[in-house]
């Protein structure tokens, strides 16, 4: 640009400047004025072109980003969906890194949650202070438990209980600190006591301020916050992954002095408890039920249907079955049932649907037979409903393969439900194309009553009743000596129950003990006996680091105690 | 856990009852039958078409394979005695078939392959899959089973004993296979003069045995190696041919097989068509044609293409998605009755009921159309059914014509844009199609830049493009293109003339040069520069003028015909636009649905108590939501006691503790039970699992949402 400018000015004011050859030539040849102007235009055009080229290049780079955006946009267009299938969240929110957690954060959140509605809903003033106090107490309690845990004192776990008793007191929030320190000072020195006070007040304030200052002036701080976030994200990641130590309190359910619930009482209790939001849930289910005829149509057109979303879909499927499938042959599979296998599914098809008597060498043979029969007889139709296709027993690769092949038959209509968050990982492309799924989101918010009612899926209180009955049943079928052997092992294990790193009883020691009790006469007989136990899954063997075989009963201690007590009664 | 329910009275559902399911919304039930029939005929047509396309595309590949197979063992039965031949026969002829990563489409290819082989080469084809063959024994069993079965099919006689042999599977070994083969070939030999003429004329006397490994990568190497080594020992007695289906790259053969084994194979490589080309053909034949009345909207097409490109590369799934679109459209749109071929439109329009007419009046595009009319016509349209029907028919015919023109002009435009540098409007016609559907393409920057680039095309390119455009427009069924064709032809002739003219010009220039022959270096330089200058700054050559005109003309065509479909009246009848529905069914995200339900139950349960802002959650939320929210605050392990306590704090606070201390024990039990239920539900969902690390602890399994 500057060059033509220069030439023009040189013509006017006769300054000495560098002038390129072409311009000189132009000057010499003829009517220079117009030419130069043209040249200038040309040059500027070329410059423009160059810029454009650059733009093109950067465009090209940007294109990829743009395409990515398009993809996200195209896949994320669900936001405007009125019924809403809840997929308008970005993946980053759902899948994120582990962040470090303070062990009392849960309590904080709980207390925060506990008085959130007081802000929104019309507050009941008279009850407020008490509640606040209660929350404070609760917090304090956790501080204590944390501290004590670090100190590894024995009395710790009892203290919260005592504190909790005090919560019922009418004026607990006055001078709570001194009370606690008093309760501690029996065993703690003064220094420790101070620390408790400091920490407790520390813990209290953030919780309060957090609640108070939720909406900060965002705009000014936004950038800073973001930067900090990035920095802290990295730090947090490494903090969370640095130590393998787990910081949780040591309290156990046993010390809670709560009677353990068994299946029956649990069920009764829950029956009494009213279901929250029953009306809304009914509405939600109504919406899903309106899709029944559509499902039927799509099943007939060769698709299979899979339901996902929070809440038990059992009732929904049941309703589908009773309302639409009454006139046709159908098979209901309760996948959550702990002893379900693909074999039993195939058996019920061959035996009851196809009325075939006879056995098969392998599930594959059976599948082949079924395929053949269904292909031969085009009038044969079968609806298969599977509750929890992703259950423990059915999620294996082979079972899924067989089910997929089954579902790909044109006259078998499959409708199934999945619940596990990783359920879609069961299927690879080949299986997916066999299944030919249509996905339906059916969030019902119904409680998973049936699905969780089986022993193995419940981790909490009523553990062991099934295990106990199976233990006694198996042992009753064994010889007296065998029972003695098992008792010996159980007793030994109970003696060592306080040792968390108890590896099990070594085989040699066990043999010695059995010999002394006149239960076996050689290690071969003991081994034979142990094999039998192992076949019934009564014991587990582990090889230690030194190559010694250790024996362990894979049942928790309370069940084992119960078992021994029962045995004593019997004998 | 399995329960079979059989209806007491065996009522068999007939297939026509499927139409019964079609009865969707209660508001209209009259046209459902017709809609269903329309759907079925349309889908059958499309299905047939796709299969045809697949067949055509695979034809080349199959032909190659067939010729390879026929070559491989042509001299088997003649020269077995020759020693050299025998040496050569230690190598098993093998075809490595590279099919690409879209595993789901392979089945179709293999099926057609085995059909072709059975028709042309040999009755003895065995298809093996890795999942059936964990060991060499299973492989042999499977192989013999298939071979003997197909033998039975060919013979189709009462070979009872043969069936039993294969059923019992006495000994599945290579010698038994060979003896079987000998007996079979002998049998056909002896029977040739009799009725088996046609079969023996198709196959030769000793047809090769073809073994197809569908998914070579997933076979265990040992099984493959053993099989190859064993069969190479017997290749002189049994004319074996292997076909490997390969999804990745041919290198995999050498990775799976050591040199000692792969040297026993005589491998020839075959490449199947890439799935992208397959897709383009499908789109070309199914979407960019006016043969099918049903059309996909922009968003829908984008979703389908994205699923293809980013998830599976599977043409089958694309077609499945297309089918779903058709089903959805005919199911949910009552007016889709009118989505039919041009010949039927008149009849169907006139048989519309009053309700359906109201439906038409309710269409947004139709409302827009009405608003543009003068008032007298407006009233007629809104009140007079028969007038409306007439108008509808006209509009639908317009729409049809629009499609015909659209496709041809789109193709013309694609001819221009597909050869531009950097492809501002996309390389594939589908991208261009999406762009045109989305909004007015001529208002986009990409279009602007591609026009500018088109203005710089050289003459030969331009000429070929024009030629192509003329061909496209000539072949299109649209009637309005006569003029366009003429115009383009005119351009072509002008270019031809230009060529001659410019030649003349060249002559004149050279003559000018000759005039200035005697000159010194300085002058020469000067004149040369001058010439260059003049060429650069010349106003515009004739060619350039013409080029501008051509581009402008194309631009005019585009503006006239490539109007986005949303602007057309009654486009709702033939365009399917519910991309969200489609995506929900094909590309669902169960995890996000769970996430939303747990974090924001208000999304599903429309209750005011649940409504709250931002990330927090009301304490009146369902138990599982509270338990979930609390567990987010924990580290790797969660203490159940703490959890329970926190839960009961929240729940009791929410329940307005009117209960006195007396009944607190009772309440506590209920809360306890609710807690247990919620925790076990979380376990079922896979957020936590029991842990042995510490007593009464559970382990967290996810890190999302915190």
Domain of A522, CATH number, reads 1.10.10.10
Residues of chain A with C-beta less than 8 angstroms from the C-beta of B310: 71
Determine whether the interchain pair B103/A430 forms a contact, defined as Cβ–Cβ distance below 8 Å: yes
Residues A20 and A26: their CA atoms lie apart, in Å, by 10
Q: Say if residue A375 is in the same domain as residue A414.
A: yes
By CA distance, what is A114's nearest residue in B?
B650
Residue A170 in domain: no
What's the total number of domains in chain A?
A: 2
Q: Say if residue A523 is in the same domain as residue A491.
A: yes
Beta bridge partners of B94: B242, B267
Interface of B with A in 527-546 (CB under 8 A): 529-530, 533, 536-537
How buried is A436 (Cβ within 10 angstroms: 0-12 exposed, 13-18 middle, 19+ buried)? middle
Task: Please list, in sequence order, all residues whose beta carbon lies within 8 angstroms of the beta carbon of residue B220, skipping any fewer than 6 positions away.
Answer: B130, B134
Backbone φ, ψ for residue B591 (5° rounding): -65, -40
Residues A49 and B311: their CA atoms lie apart, in Å, by 39
| Strand, helix or coil for residue A383 | strand
Residue A330 in domain: yes
Q: Closest partner residue to A284 among B331, B579, B605, by Cβ?
A: B605
Pure H helices in B538-622: 542-561, 571-574, 579-586, 590-599
> Who has greater pLDDT, A468 or B430?
B430
First-to-final CA distance of chain A? 110
Low-confidence ranges of chain B (pLDDT < 70): 7-30, 73-89, 150-172, 187-206, 478, 501-519, 535-540, 612-617, 656-667, 704-706
By CA distance, what is A301's nearest residue in B?
B18
Residue A456 has pLDDT above 60, yes or no: no
- Asked if B296 contacts B286 with a C-beta cutoff of 8 angstroms, the reply is no
pLDDT classification of A406: cutoffs 50, 70, 90: very high
Domain with CATH 1.10.10 in chain B: 590-656+664-700
Residues B694 and A230: their CA atoms lie apart, in Å, by 34
Q: CA dihedral defined by B616, B619, B621, B624, rounded to 10 degrees?
A: 90
Neighbours of B34 (CB within 10 A): 18
Q: Say if residue A342 is in the same domain as residue A426.
A: yes
Task: Please list, in sequence order, all residues whose beta carbon lies within 8 angstroms of the beta carbon of residue A433, skipping any fewer than 6 positions away.
Answer: B104, B314, B316, B317
Q: Which of A469, A480, A468, A489 is nearest to A534 (CA)?
A: A489
* Average of per-residue pLDDT values in chain A: 68
Q: Say if residue A493 is in the same domain as residue A390.
A: no
B585 touches chain A (CB under 8 A): yes
Q: Closest partner residue to B634 among A106, A300, A329, by Cβ?
A: A106
- Asked if B618 contacts B610 with a C-beta cutoff of 8 angstroms, the reply is yes
- CATH node for B590-656+664-700: 1.10.10
* Residue B523 CA from chain centroid, whole number: 68
Best to test chain A binding among B420, B538, B604 (most A CBs inside 10 Å): B604
Residues of chain A with C-beta less than 8 angstroms from the C-beta of B580: 77-78, 80-81
Residues B291 and B404: their CA atoms lie apart, in Å, by 9
CATH of the domain at A336: 3.40.50.300
Residues B587 and B585: their CA atoms lie apart, in Å, by 6
Q: Say if residue A311 is in the same domain as residue A409.
A: yes
Q: Say if residue A435 is in the same domain as residue A465.
A: no
- Asked if B212 contacts B245 with a C-beta cutoff of 8 angstroms, the reply is yes
Residues A359 and B108: their CA atoms lie apart, in Å, by 33
* Average of per-residue pLDDT values in chain B: 80
- Asked if B95 contacts B268 with a C-beta cutoff of 8 angstroms, the reply is yes
Residues B412 and B469: their CA atoms lie apart, in Å, by 5
Residues A329 and A306: their CA atoms lie apart, in Å, by 20
Q: Looking at the complex, report in whole angstroms how far the Cα of residue A119 sits from the nearest Cα belonging to chain B.
A: 11
* Residue B492 CA from chain centroid, whole number: 39
Domain with CATH 3.40.50.300 in chain B: 26-76+87-150+206-273
Determine whether the interchain pair A459/B12 forms a contact, defined as Cβ–Cβ distance below 8 Å: no
Classify B260 in phi/psi space as left (phi over 0), alpha (psi -120 to 50) or beta. alpha
Which whole-number Å values give the CA distances from A122 to A125, A268, A299, B272, B652, in the listed order? 9, 34, 51, 71, 17
> Who has greater pLDDT, A207 or B344?
B344
Residues of chain A with C-beta less than 8 angstroms from the C-beta of B327: 297-298, 301
First-to-final CA distance of chain B? 38
Helix (H) or strand (E) holding B241: strand B240-246
Residue A538 in domain: yes
Inter-helix orientation angle B298-307/B315-332, to 10°: 150
Q: Closest partner residue to B605 among A269, A281, A349, by Cβ?
A: A281
Range with top average pLDDT, A87-101, A136-150, B210-224: B210-224
Please provide the size of chain B in residues: 706
Backbone φ, ψ for residue A235 (5° rounding): -60, -45
**Domain boundary, last residue among A387, A414, A441:** A441
Looking at residue A54, its pLDDT comes to 43
Neighbours of A28 (CB within 10 A): 9
Neighbours of A107 (CB within 10 A): 29
* Residue B163 CA from chain centroid, whole number: 42
Q: Which of B116, B230, B696, B497 is nearest to A463 (CA)?
A: B696
Looking at residue A137, its pLDDT comes to 45
Q: Which of A326, A366, A365, A328 is nearest to A345 (CA)?
A: A366
Task: Please list, in sequence order, all residues whose beta carbon lies within 8 angstroms of the beta carbon of residue A392, skipping any fewer than 6 positions away.
Answer: A338, A456
* Residue A96 CA from chain centroid, whole number: 13
Interior CA angle at A290 toward A289 and A294, to 5°? 105
By CA distance, what is B14's nearest residue in A?
A379
Inter-helix orientation angle B342-350/B385-417, to 10°: 160
Residue A478 in domain: yes
How buried is A83 (Cβ within 10 angstroms: 0-12 exposed, 13-18 middle, 19+ buried)? exposed
| Strand, helix or coil for residue A261 | coil
Is ipTM strictly over 0.85? no
How buried is B434 (Cβ within 10 angstroms: 0-12 exposed, 13-18 middle, 19+ buried)? buried
Handedness of CA A39, A44, A48, A53 (dihedral sign): positive
Determine whether the interchain pair B580/A303 forms a contact, defined as Cβ–Cβ distance below 8 Å: no
Residues of chain B with C-beta less than 8 angstroms from the C-beta of A250: 639, 694
Looking at residue A438, its pLDDT comes to 93
Looking at residue A308, its pLDDT comes to 93
Residues of chain B with C-beta less than 8 angstroms from the C-beta of A349: 4
- Asked if A87 contacts B597 with a C-beta cutoff of 8 angstroms, the reply is no
- Asked if A381 contacts A328 with a C-beta cutoff of 8 angstroms, the reply is yes
CATH class of the B26-76+87-150+206-273 domain in this structure: alpha beta
| Strand, helix or coil for residue B703 | coil
- Asked if B308 contacts B318 with a C-beta cutoff of 8 angstroms, the reply is yes
Task: Please list, in sequence order, all residues whose beta carbon lies within 8 angstroms of the beta carbon of residue A31, skipping any fewer than 6 positions away.
Answer: none
Residues B390 and B370: their CA atoms lie apart, in Å, by 14
* Structural domain boundaries enclosing A349: 278-441
Q: Say if residue A383 is in the same domain as residue A524.
A: no
Q: Closest partner residue to A457 among B1, B600, B680, by Cβ?
A: B680
B216 touches chain A (CB under 8 A): no
Please indicate, yes or no, whether the overall pTM of this predicted structure exceeds 0.90. Answer: no
Q: Looking at the complex, report in whole angstroms how far the Cα of residue A570 sits from the nearest Cα belonging to chain B.
A: 30
Looking at residue B305, its pLDDT comes to 93
Task: Please list, in sequence order, all residues whose beta carbon lies within 8 angstroms of the beta carbon of residue B540, skipping any fewer than 6 positions away.
Answer: B548
Residue A4 has pLDDT above 70, yes or no: no
Residues A505 and B62: their CA atoms lie apart, in Å, by 67
Tens digit of each residue's pLDDT (9 = 90 or more) over B321-355: 999 999 999 988 888 888 888 888 888 888 888 88
- Asked if A550 contacts A503 with a C-beta cutoff of 8 angstroms, the reply is yes
Determine whether the interchain pair A94/B592 forms a contact, defined as Cβ–Cβ distance below 8 Å: yes
Which whole-number Å values give the CA distances from B526 to A23, A30, B138, B519, B635, in the listed order? 12, 12, 88, 10, 84
Tens digit of each residue's pLDDT (9 = 90 or more) over A327-370: 888 899 988 887 788 888 998 999 888 888 888 888 888 898 89
Residue A437 in domain: yes
Looking at residue B273, its pLDDT comes to 82
- Asked if A340 contacts A394 with a C-beta cutoff of 8 angstroms, the reply is yes
- Asked if B572 contacts B365 with a C-beta cutoff of 8 angstroms, the reply is yes
- Asked if A542 contacts A504 with a C-beta cutoff of 8 angstroms, the reply is yes
Which residue pairs, CB below 8 angstroms and at least 24 apart, start in B367-375?
A: B368/B569, B369/B395, B369/B569, B369/B570
pLDDT classification of A218: cutoffs 50, 70, 90: very low
B617 touches chain A (CB under 8 A): yes
Which whole-number Å values give the CA distances from A441 to B10, B300, B582, B590, in the listed order? 33, 19, 12, 8
By CA distance, what is A429's nearest residue in B?
B104
Interface of B with A in 265-304 (CB under 8 A): 299, 302-303
Q: Which of A369, A390, A373 is nearest to A381 (CA)?
A: A373
């Amino acid at each position: 640009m500057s060059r033509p400018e220069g030439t023009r000015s040189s013509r006017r004011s006769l300054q000495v400047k560098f002038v390129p050859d072409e311009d000189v030539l132009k000057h010499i040849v003829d009517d220079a004025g117009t030419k130069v102007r043209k040249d200038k235009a040309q040059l500027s055009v070329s410059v423009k072109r160059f810029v454009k080229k650059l733009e093109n290049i950067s465009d090209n780079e940007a294109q990829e980003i743009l395409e990515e955006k398009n993809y996200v946009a195209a896949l994320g267009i669900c936001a405007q969906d009125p019924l809403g299938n809840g997929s308008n969240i970005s993946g980053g929110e759902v899948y994120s890194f582990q962040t470090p957690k303070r062990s009392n954060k849960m309590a904080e959140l709980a207390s925060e949650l506990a008085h959130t509605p007081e802000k929104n809903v019309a507050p009941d003033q008279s009850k407020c202070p008490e509640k606040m106090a209660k929350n404070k107490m609760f917090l304090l309690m956790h501080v204590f438990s944390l501290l004590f845990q670090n100190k590894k004192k024995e009395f710790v776990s009892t203290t919260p209980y005592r504190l909790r008793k005090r919560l019922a007191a009418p004026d607990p929030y006055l001078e709570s600190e001194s009370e606690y320190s008093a309760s501690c000072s029996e065993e703690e020195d003064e220094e420790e006591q101070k620390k408790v006070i400091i920490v407790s007040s520390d813990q209290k304030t953030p919780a309060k301020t957090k609640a108070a200052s939720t909406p900060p002036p965002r705009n000014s701080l936004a950038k800073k916050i973001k930067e900090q976030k990035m920095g802290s994200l990295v730090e947090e990641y490494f903090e969370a992954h640095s130590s393998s130590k787990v910081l949780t309190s040591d309290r156990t359910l046993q010390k809670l002095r709560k009677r353990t619930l068994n299946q029956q009482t649990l069920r009764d209790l829950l029956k009494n408890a009213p279901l929250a939001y029953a009306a809304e849930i009914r509405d939600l289910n109504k919406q899903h039920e309106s899709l029944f005829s559509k499902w039927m149509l799509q099943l007939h057109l060769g698709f299979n249907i899979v339901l996902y979303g929070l809440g038990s879909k059992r009732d929904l499927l049941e309703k589908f079955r009773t309302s639409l499938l009454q006139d046709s042959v159908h098979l209901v599979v309760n996948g959550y049932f702990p002893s379900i296998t693909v074999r039993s599914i195939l058996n019920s098809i061959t035996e009851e649907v196809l009325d075939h008597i006879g056995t098969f060498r392998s599930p594959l043979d059976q599948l082949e037979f079924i395929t053949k029969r269904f292909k031969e007889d085009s009038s044969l139709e079968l609806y298969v409903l599977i509750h929890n296709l992703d259950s423990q027993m059915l999620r294996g690769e082979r079972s899924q393969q067989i089910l997929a092949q089954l579902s790909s038959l044109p006259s078998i209509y499959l409708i199934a439900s999945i619940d596990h968050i990783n359920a879609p990982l069961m299927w690879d492309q080949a299986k997916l194309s066999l299944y030919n799924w249509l996905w339906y989101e059916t969030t019902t918010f119904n409680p998973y009553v049936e699905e969780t009612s089986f022993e193995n899926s419940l981790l909490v209180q009523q553990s062991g009743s099934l295990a106990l009955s199976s233990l006694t049943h198996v042992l009753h079928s064994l010889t007296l000596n065998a029972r003695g052997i098992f008792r010996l092992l159980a007793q030994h294990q109970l003696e060592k129950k306080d040792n968390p790193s108890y590896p099990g009883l070594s085989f040699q020691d066990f043999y010695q003990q059995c010999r002394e009790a006149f239960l076996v006469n050689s290690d071969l007989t003991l081994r034979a006996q142990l094999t039998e136990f192992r076949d019934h899954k009564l014991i587990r063997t582990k090889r230690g680091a030194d190559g010694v075989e250790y024996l362990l009963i894979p049942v928790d201690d309370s069940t084992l105690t119960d078992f021994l007590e029962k045995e004593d009664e019997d004998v | 856990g399995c329960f079979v329910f059989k209806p007491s009275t065996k009522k068999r559902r007939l297939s026509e009852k499927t139409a019964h399911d079609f009865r969707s919304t209660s508001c209209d039930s009259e046209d459902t039958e017709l809609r269903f029939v329309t759907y079925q005929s349309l889908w059958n047509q499309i299905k047939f078409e796709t299969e045809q396309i697949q067949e055509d595309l695979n034809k080349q590949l199959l032909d190659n394979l067939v010729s390879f197979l026929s070559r491989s063992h042509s001299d088997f039965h003649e020269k077995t005695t020759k020693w050299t031949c025998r040496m050569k026969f230690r190598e098993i002829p093998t075809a490595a078939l590279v099919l690409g990563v879209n595993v789901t489409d392979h089945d179709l290819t293999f099926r057609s392959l085995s059909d072709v082989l059975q028709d042309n080469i040999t009755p003895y084809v065995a298809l093996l899959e890795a999942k059936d063959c964990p060991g060499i024994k299973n492989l042999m069993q499977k192989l013999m089973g298939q071979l003997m079965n197909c033998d039975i099919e060919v013979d189709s006689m009462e070979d009872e004993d043969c069936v039993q042999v294969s059923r019992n599977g006495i000994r599945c070994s290579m010698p038994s296979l060979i003896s079987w083969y000998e007996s079979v070939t002998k049998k056909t030999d002896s029977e040739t003069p009799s009725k088996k003429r046609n079969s023996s004329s198709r196959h030769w006397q000793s047809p090769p045995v073809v073994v197809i490994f569908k998914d070579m990568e997933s076979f265990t190497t040992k099984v493959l190696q053993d099989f190859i080594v064993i069969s190479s020992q017997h290749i002189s007695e049994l004319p074996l041919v292997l076909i490997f289906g390969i999804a990745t790259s041919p290198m995999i053969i050498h990775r799976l097989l050591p040199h000692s084994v792969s040297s026993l194979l005589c491998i020839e490589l075959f490449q199947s068509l890439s799935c992208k080309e397959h897709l383009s053909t499908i789109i070309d034949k199914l979407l960019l044609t006016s043969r099918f009345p049903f059309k996909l909207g922009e968003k829908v097409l984008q979703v389908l293409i994205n699923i293809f490109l980013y998830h599976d590369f599977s043409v089958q799934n694309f077609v499945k998605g297309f089918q779903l679109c058709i089903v959805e459209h005919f199911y949910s749109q009552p007016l889709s009755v009118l989505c039919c071929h041009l010949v039927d439109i008149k009849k169907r329009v006139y048989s519309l009921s009053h309700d359906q007419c109201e439906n038409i009046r309710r269409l947004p595009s139709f409302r827009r159309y009405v608003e543009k009319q003068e008032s007298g016509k407006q009233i007629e349209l809104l009140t007079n059914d028969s007038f409306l029907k007439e108008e509808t028919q006209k509009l639908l015919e317009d729409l049809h014509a629009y499609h015909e023109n659209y496709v041809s002009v789109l193709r013309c435009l694609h001819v221009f844009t597909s050869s531009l540098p950097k492809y501002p409007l996309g390389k594939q016609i589908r991208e261009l199609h999406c762009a045109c559907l989305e909004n007015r393409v001529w208002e986009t920057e990409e279009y602007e830049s591609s026009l500018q680039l088109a203005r710089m095309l050289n003459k030969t390119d331009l000429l070929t493009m024009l030629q192509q455009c003329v061909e496209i427009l000539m072949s299109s069924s649209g009637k309005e293109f006569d003029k366009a064709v003429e115009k383009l032809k005119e351009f072509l002739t002008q270019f031809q003339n230009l060529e001659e003219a410019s030649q003349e010009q060249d002559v004149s220039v050279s003559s000018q040069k000759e005039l200035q022959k005697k000159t010194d270096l300085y002058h020469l330089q000067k004149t040369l520069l001058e010439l260059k200058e003049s060429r650069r700054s010349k106003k515009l050559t004739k060619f350039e003028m013409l080029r501008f005109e051509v581009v402008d003309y194309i631009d005019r065509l585009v503006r006239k015909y490539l109007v986005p479909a949303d602007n057309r009246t009654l486009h709702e009848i033939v365009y399917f636009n519910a991309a969200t529905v489609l995506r929900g069914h094909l590309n669902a995200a169960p995890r996000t649905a769970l996430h939303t339900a747990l974090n924001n139950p208000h999304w599903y349960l429309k209750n005011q108590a649940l409504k709250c802002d931002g990330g927090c959650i009301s304490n009146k939320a369902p138990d599982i939501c509270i338990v979930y929210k609390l567990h987010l605050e924990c580290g790797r392990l969660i203490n159940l006691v703490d959890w329970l306590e926190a839960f009961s704090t929240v729940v009791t606070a929410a329940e307005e503790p009117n209960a006195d201390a007396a009944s607190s024990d009772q309440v506590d039990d209920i809360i306890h039970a609710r807690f247990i239920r919620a925790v076990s539900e979380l376990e079922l969902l896979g957020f936590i699992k029991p842990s042995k690390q510490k007593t009464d602890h559970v382990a967290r399994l996810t890190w999302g949402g915190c």
